[in-house]
């Protein structure tokens, strides 16, 4: 990409200064975020994206590439995100620190690209650097970096910012080849996460300011705005109609991405029906109040956590009214100053527009809002803050040294807050306990903590949290399923079966229903009801065809019925999906019963090679064969 036209006569000294500032920004960001390398994966999406995802763990194989482009898993079509996780597994295995480090590196690079983008578009170096530093160090962005599953946010934003930078290159000399680069980078951003869908609309704002391509965006008087800006040649100006038509290919791509996203979310049962939150009014009220809360945490970022539960009843009328008045007032002020201070209108509309797909009018998931949604949107607020303060300081003739000291104090304070926030993502219990500490009625946090406790063998403590979740939301299926598993472990099989059936017969998430049917199969098998066990395992596989625990269950049923050929096939199929030591030991036992001793010995050898504790694996295999688990 060529050198920006607004830096005429660029000598090696300014170029070196820009490079050094980019390196400084990257270095500071990585230093602040280095603690993420000590963080573990958490049991909120990290399992589905990485630790329990066989396709991703296989690395960059051709089957993984094909799957990445074909799957709607996790309610999105984002093949580049899947491939990036697969590459991490190829390079680092399941060492969480390296996965987190890649996120931090992408975030640092995003900050540097944002600096280059603003500097090239506005001509201001110090202001652009401050916006990029706020983006890099604000604690609201910790979620997008310290949460491994949010690779999609930092990766999509990387291509999004590059697309904006390429658009500035195109705007200086419109050519098809340059437009094609913008189109390609936008496509890559959408293939990482659909958060980039508003890009064509944001480009119209970018046309108005800072690029000034719009015929109505005549420059304000020098004494109002640009006295401190470098002198730059005037950009070519076009009518609003032309600029809209110019965006049509990008708009069509955005619409296509939106349609694919809706299809993916429908396929994953991620879209929440209106009845799930009583009435549409709750969503509208939540959207209004969330906008205001986002602005509040941009100024005072406290109480941040990984999950904010969606309200289930209407807000007090005064809160909704105050939020609506505040938003209207801010919009009127910003638009009334569109000539004198165009950054106010552009920054504010950037925030409002970029947040629209994630504000919750079309509800996906059970969250009221999320810190990760601010990653791109807050750029507009940071621009408003920096440009407003800088213009005021210039008019008031505040010494530059004083402004620099104030900026440094703010960045240090944000760095301290970010360092503290990173600590809340250290591991699963830390993350969920933080959520319970700063939110109310957080049934998702109770469930996530309960699942972790159950995996650690703390069944009684897990059951308490599952019950706490169900006391808040009796229809929260993961908690119903988890409590069924707790009853199962206690040996209370009738209670476990009742819970499992509640989930299995619910027309919801296919994976949850598959898990429930697998639990039913295990409970029936322990009760000696092998026909119902077989039917349950088959129902699980209809919903999730490559489910290894259901395949093992069918193998155990077939072995009990004396059908050794079927048992061997089912165990082999389970191993093909997830080669575990227990599955190999079960296969070995079936092969021995079938008189295939050499193959049985080979299976045992494979189990010994991959097992961290072969004796314990053998005990678990024996328990399964005896119908005790």
Residue that is written with structure tokens 């269950």 in the block: 553
CA dihedral sign, ordered 187, 189, 194, 200: negative
Q: Is 494 exposed, middle or buried (0-12, 13-18, 19+ CB in 10 A)?
A: exposed
**pLDDT, position 218:** 52
- Residue 103: name the closest of 417, 449, 375 by CA: 375
Angle between helices 443-455 and 428-438 (to 10 degrees): 150
Alpha-carbon 459 to chain mean position: 30
Q: pLDDT tens for residues 210-235?
A: 999 998 755 544 444 444 455 454 56
**pLDDT, position 235:** 61
Residues in the chain with pLDDT < 50? 1-11, 220-228, 231, 233, 276-277
**Gap between the Cα atoms of 207 and 230, Å rounded:** 19
- CATH code 1.25.40.10 region(s) in the chain: 441-545
271: phi then psi, degrees, rounded to nearest 5: -70, 130
SS (H, E, C) 205-238: HHHHCCCCCECCCCCCCCCCCHHHCCCCCCCCCE
Q: In this structure, are residues 75 and 132 in contact, taking their beta carbons and an 8 Å threshold?
A: no
pTM reported for the whole predicted model: 0.90
- Residue 97: name the closest of 21, 40, 159, 164 by CA: 40
- How far CA 370 is from CA of 246, 287, 354, 366, in Å, comes to 33, 12, 14, 11
**CATH domain 441-545 topology:** 1.25.40
**pLDDT, position 575:** 93
**pLDDT, position 313:** 86
427: phi then psi, degrees, rounded to nearest 5: -160, 180
């Amino acid at each position: 990409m060529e050198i920006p036209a607004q830096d005429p006569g660029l000598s090696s000294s300014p170029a070196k200064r820009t490079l050094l500032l980019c390196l400084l920004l990257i270095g500071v960001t990585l230093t602040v975020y280095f603690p993420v390398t000590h963080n573990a994966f958490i049991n909120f999406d990290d399992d589905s994206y990485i630790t329990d995802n066989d396709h991703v763990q296989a690395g960059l194989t051709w089957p993984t590439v094909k799957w990445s482009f074909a799957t709607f898993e996790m309610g999105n079509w984002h093949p580049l995100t899947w491939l990036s996780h697969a590459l991490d597994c190829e390079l680092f295995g399941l060492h969480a620190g390296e996965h987190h480090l890649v996120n931090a590196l992408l975030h640092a690079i995003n900050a540097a690209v944002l600096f280059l983008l603003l500097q090239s578009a506005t001509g201001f170096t110090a202001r652009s650097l401050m916006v990029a530093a706020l983006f890099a160090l604000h604690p609201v962005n910790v979620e997008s970096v310290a949460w491994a599953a949010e690779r999609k946010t930092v990766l999509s934003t990387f291509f999004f910012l590059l697309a904006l930078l390429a658009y500035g290159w195109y705007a200086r000399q419109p050519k098809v080849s340059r437009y094609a680069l913008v189109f390609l980078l936008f496509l890559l951003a959408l293939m990482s996460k659909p958060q980039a869908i508003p890009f064509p609309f944001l480009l119209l704002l970018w046309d108005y300011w800072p690029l000034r391509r719009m015929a109505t965006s005549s420059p304000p008087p020098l004494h109002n705005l640009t006295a401190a800006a470098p002198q730059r040649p005037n950009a070519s100006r076009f009518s609003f109609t032309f600029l809209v038509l110019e965006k049509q290919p990008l708009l069509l791509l955005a619409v296509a991405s939106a349609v694919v996203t809706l299809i993916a979310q429908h396929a994953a049962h991620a879209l929440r029906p209106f009845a799930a939150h009583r009435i549409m009014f709750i969503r509208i009220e939540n959207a209004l109040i969330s906008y205001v809360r986002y602005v509040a945490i941009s100024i005072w970022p406290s109480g941040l956590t990984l999950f904010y539960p969606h309200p289930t009843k209407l807000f007090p009328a005064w809160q909704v009214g105050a939020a609506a008045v505040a938003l209207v007032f801010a919009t009127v002020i910003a638009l009334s100053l569109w000539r004198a201070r165009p950054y106010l209108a552009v920054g504010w509309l950037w925030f409002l527009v970029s947040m629209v797909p994630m504000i919750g009018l079309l509800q996906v998931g059970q969250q009221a809002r999320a810190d990760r949604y601010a990653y791109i949107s807050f750029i507009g607020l940071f621009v408003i803050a920096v440009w407003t303060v800088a213009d005021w300081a210039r008019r008031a003739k505040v010494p530059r040294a004083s402004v620099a000291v104030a900026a440094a104090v703010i960045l240090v304070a944000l760095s301290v807050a970010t360092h503290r926030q990173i600590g809340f993502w250290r591991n699963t219990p830390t993350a969920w306990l933080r959520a319970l500490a700063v939110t109310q009625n957080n049934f998702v946090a109770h469930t996530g903590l309960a699942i972790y406790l159950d995996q650690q063998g703390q069944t009684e403590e897990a059951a308490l949290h599952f019950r706490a979740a169900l006391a808040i939301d009796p229809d929260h299926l993961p908690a119903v399923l988890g409590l069924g598993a707790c009853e199962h472990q206690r040996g209370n099989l009738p209670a476990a079966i009742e819970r499992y059936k509640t989930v299995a017969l619910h027309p919801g998430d296919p994976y949850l229903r598959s898990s429930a049917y697998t639990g039913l199969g295990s409970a029936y098998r322990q009760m000696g009801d092998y026909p119902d066990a077989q039917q349950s395992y088959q129902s699980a596989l209809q919903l999730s065809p490559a489910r290894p625990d259901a395949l093992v269950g069918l193998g155990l049923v077939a072995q009990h019925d004396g059908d050794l050929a079927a048992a061997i096939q089912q165990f082999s199929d389970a191993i093909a999906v997830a080669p575990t030591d227990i599955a190999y030991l079960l296969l070995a036992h079936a092969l021995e019963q079938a008189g295939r001793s050499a193959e049985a010995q080979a299976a045992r050898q494979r189990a010994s090679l991959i097992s961290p504790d072969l004796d314990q694996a053998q005990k678990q295999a024996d328990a399964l064969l005896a119908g005790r688990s």
